[in-house]
Amino acid sequence: MRFAIRLLRHRGRVIPWRDVVNRSPRIGDIRIEELRDEDLRRYVRTAKLFPDDGTVVFGVPLPELHDVRMIGMSQQAFTLAGLERIDGVDYAQSWLVSAL
């Protein structure tokens, strides 16, 4: 199933709503699973976006969400929240996810 993902934070800080809706969403398949995180030395629930066309992503790929949880859901979209790891630092991140 294809989803459109809009990031709600940048390095832990909230992105203004007008910027969220004006940016192009990331499109692809979301997979949520529990994996072992060697940095934390425990299993964590992760969410990862896979491009739907199977091509190599140019530019910076979307970081995985660790300790992901669903924090809201409606008929149009749902929100996933967790931590993204950039250069060894964990930042709060939220994804607004809608089906295409």
Q: Give pLDDT, residue 77.
A: 96
pTM of the model: 0.88
Average pLDDT of the segment spanning 2-12: 95
Q: Is the pLDDT of residue 91 over 80?
A: yes
37-60: average pLDDT:
80
59-71: pLDDT as tens digits: 567 899 999 999 9
Domain ranges, ordered by start, for the chain = 3-99
Is the dihedral angle over the CA atoms 77, 74, 21, 11 positive or is it negative? negative
Ramachandran area for residue 62 (φ above 0: left; ψ -120 to 50: alpha; else beta):
beta
Return the percentage of the chain with pLDDT > 90, whole number.
Answer: 81
Q: Which tokens go with 3? A: 């989803």
Cβ within 8 Å of residue 71, ≥6 positions away: 79, 80, 81, 94
Q: Is 54 helix (H, G, I), strand (E, B) or coil?
A: coil
